[in-house]
Amino acid sequence: MLVIRRRPGESILIGEDIAIEVLEIGPGRVKLGITAPREIAVLRGEIRLTGETNQLAAREVALPVIESLIERLRARGVCDEK
Amino acid sequence: MPEHKTRYFGTMTFAEDAIIRFPKGLPGFPDETRFLLIEQPVNAPLLFLQSLNRSDLCFLATPAPAICPEFHLSIGAEDLSVIGLPEDRQPAAGKDVLCLALITLSEDKRPAANLLAPVLINWRNHTGVQAIQVESGYSHTHPIFAEREVAPCS
């Protein structure tokens, strides 16, 4: 992995037509501006996590497991009822 | 009325206007662009998001505010535009949009809800999107039930 230190206002070029600029550095997070051709998909890394989670969530669930989930959801109420 | 074979409910008939279009598909399922939301009082608060393309594909879901009453949305402009909502303000979960958390049940882990990427459905135009929240701090595997007490929301 290439590691580069950047300050706000500085950027990184990837290939001919992708640029990533550091716009702002705040406490605990950084704001980036990305310039790329329309055909390049720019996605947050979490989308892969959600894709993997969806694959797991799509597996068949046995009916008794679903029934027990419904019962537990009903018994649980909502999370401020402590 | 059209009929469709479902994963958990056999063959169901449904009205054309019950179809929810997901123009972007779902993450991991880019080709699944049409779903039915199966909502039955006997199964509440569990709902079923059944693909109209694949009979064997059906997600379990529950309203995100049922998992976390203080649930708030932080959705990017692009995802808001996919479902035809104004991009200059955040929709209210359960009011402007139906906001569902997909549930993962795996044998070795406790049931978890994806609060990081809720499924938003705009009933006004029958479109939906699974949107990765921009600045939320919510988990994609939020435990629905804790060992002893209810899991905290964030």
B132 at interface of A, judged by CB pairs closer than 8 A = yes
**Measured between alpha carbons, how far is B85 from B136 in angstroms, rounded to an integer?**
19
The pTM for the full model equals 0.83
Cβ burial of B143 (10 Å; 0-12, 13-18, 19+) is middle
Residue of B53, B105, B107 best to disrupt the A interface, most CBs of A under 10 A: B105
Percentages (nearest 5) of helix, strand, coil residues in chain B: 10, 30, 60
Instruction: Encode pLDDT of B68-94 as tens digits.
Output: 888 999 999 989 999 999 999 999 888
Tokens coding B65: 């505010």
**pLDDT tens series, chain A, 82 aa:** 999 999 999 999 999 999 999 999 999 889 999 999 988 878 788 888 899 999 999 998 889 999 999 999 998 865 443 3
B50 at interface of A, judged by CB pairs closer than 8 A = no
**Measured between alpha carbons, how far is B128 from B50 in angstroms, rounded to an integer?**
13
Contact status, residue A34 vs residue A18, Cβ threshold 8 Å? yes
Put simply, the answer to whether A70 touches B140 (Cβ < 8 Å) is no
